[in-house]
Amino acid sequence: MHSIPQFIQQRLGVNARTSYTSKENSIVVWFRWKGRTTRWFGNKTVIDQEGYKSEINGWNYNGNPPANAALSEIWLGYAIPTYPRRDASFKFQLNDWNEKVLGEFEIKNPEQINTEPYRADPFPIKKRIDEMEFSLLSLEVPDSKNMSKDTERIFQSREVRATFEISEKNQVVENWQPVNIWLEDATGNQCKNSSWSNHEEDGKASMTFSSGLFHGEAWKMKTQFARKSHFLKADLWTATIPLPQHPEYQTNVVSHVLHDKKIILRGIVDQNGFLLDGTKSSRNNSGRNKKQKQFHLFVEDMDTDLRLDLVEVVDDQGRKCKQSGKSWGGSNYDYGVEIEEDATSLTVTLAFHQSKFAEYIAMPQTINQTSEQ
């Protein structure tokens, strides 16, 4: 439970009654801001003694200003679940959205942890699941003090790249990819990748993401793999949806049970983000591209080991509709689909498929200008 301690509130003349409970073992830093400012300042970064950075998506609390303040003041508290727990101190940096440093502060670690690090396995690290093998070939981080231009094109200073080779029945396949990675170190830091991009080349699949952990010791990596093509017939569902002839394109709700889960295709949202059944979506159709519509889907009691993908959308004239990304949160999914104005119906194919999980213990390898040459 995090809040400003009562004796500090009394000493500083603030009234901060709101509290916050974090899921992780974390610390909280509090700031007092004077003058004109806003509640959100952009990026917040923790920096260890070696200069490695970890960007946090920490909670911030906007406290009450003192009653007798000469200038406008606000109080902000940031929970820091991931920090260099072995170091005696670390830096906390606040930046604006243009990466300009607003302030950098040295923070004493209230409790140093000296547990034994995880013992890393040598690369490649191979994990066999049924008839498949998932091999971690490398885990690379940039040298923040010696980044070459080539390194900067691959990833930023806070990112990491994991490269895998995936085989089935002893043959390398390219229809599987890593989709999520959960990380932890031996000191208690834990995080799930906060951003990622995938790249496939020469039978190798790499995933670049913001790790959140620091580079000086081995990490435990729980990795989720999923199909991206060549789905099994048992995982597919195809439905034909008539399109009403009005600008909103709101469609009737259709549903189907697959793998004991009910998938509901709620249809296309209108310009205000509403569906025909009155459900509000996180997206709307008010963008510049008038052809693009937002498909909304819902899965009841979605499991973390299942994945939902919109495989294909074809209109009544046989034209494939271009997809332009998806977003999801919990059990809700939104897909951008471009639909021609003269289309009268759509045939939608979905894949609802099972993931596979592999766990590795790996030491991040530093990439610098010398090692790249």
Q: Are 89 and 108 in contact (CB under 8 A)?
A: yes
Beta-bridged to residue 281, according to DSSP, are none
C-alpha closest to that of 241 among 340, 318, 316: 316
Q: Are 77 and 4 in contact (CB under 8 A)?
A: yes
Largest CA distance in the chain: 73
pLDDT for 236-293, tens place per residue? Answer: 999 988 887 655 555 667 899 999 999 988 877 776 767 766 666 666 655 566 777 8
Q: Are 140 and 364 in contact (CB under 8 A)?
A: yes
CATH class of 125-230+357-372: mainly beta
Say which residue the tokens 């005696």 belong to: 88
CA 10, 16, 19, 22 torsion-angle sign: negative
pLDDT for 38-62, tens place per residue? Answer: 555 667 889 998 888 887 765 454 4
What Å distances lie between residue 39 and 10, 34, 62, 135, CA to CA? 23, 12, 7, 44
Collapse the DSSP code of 318 into the 3-class scheme (helix H, G, I; strand E, B; otherwise coil) and give the result.
coil
Q: Are 48 and 87 in contact (CB under 8 A)?
A: yes
Collapse the DSSP code of 179 into the 3-class scheme (helix H, G, I; strand E, B; otherwise coil) and give the result.
strand
Q: Measure the CA angle with vertex 345, ends 344 and 347; round to 5°.
A: 155
C-alpha closest to that of 305 among 336, 255, 261, 335: 261
C-alpha closest to that of 226 among 205, 209, 252: 205
What Å distances lie between residue 27 and 77, 158, 209, CA to CA? 10, 21, 24
Residue 94: enclosing H or E segment and its boundaries? strand 89-95
Beta-bridged to residue 239, according to DSSP, are 348
CA 177, 179, 182, 183 torsion-angle sign: positive
pLDDT by residue for the chain (373 residues), tens only, comes to 445 556 555 555 555 555 556 666 778 887 777 655 555 566 788 999 888 888 776 545 445 444 444 445 667 777 888 899 999 999 999 887 777 888 899 999 988 999 999 999 999 999 999 999 999 999 998 876 665 555 555 555 568 899 999 999 999 999 999 999 999 999 999 988 866 678 888 899 999 888 788 888 999 999 999 999 999 999 999 998 888 765 555 566 789 999 999 998 887 777 676 776 666 666 665 556 677 788 888 898 888 889 999 999 999 999 999 987 776 767 888 888 898 888 888 899 999 999 999 999 999 998 864 444 3
Beta strands in 228-317 (DSSP E): 236-242, 254-258, 261-268, 292-299, 306-315
What the block records as the tokens of 72 is 């406008």
Q: How far apart are CA 281 and CA 251, in angstroms?
A: 14
C-alpha closest to that of 226 among 357, 359, 360: 357
Domains in the chain: boundaries: 6-108, 125-230+357-372, 244-343
- DSSP conformation letters of 276-300: TTSPBPS--S-SS-TTEEEEEEEET
Beta-carbon contacts of residue 93 (< 8 Å; ≥ 6 apart) = 44, 45, 46, 47, 101, 103, 104, 105
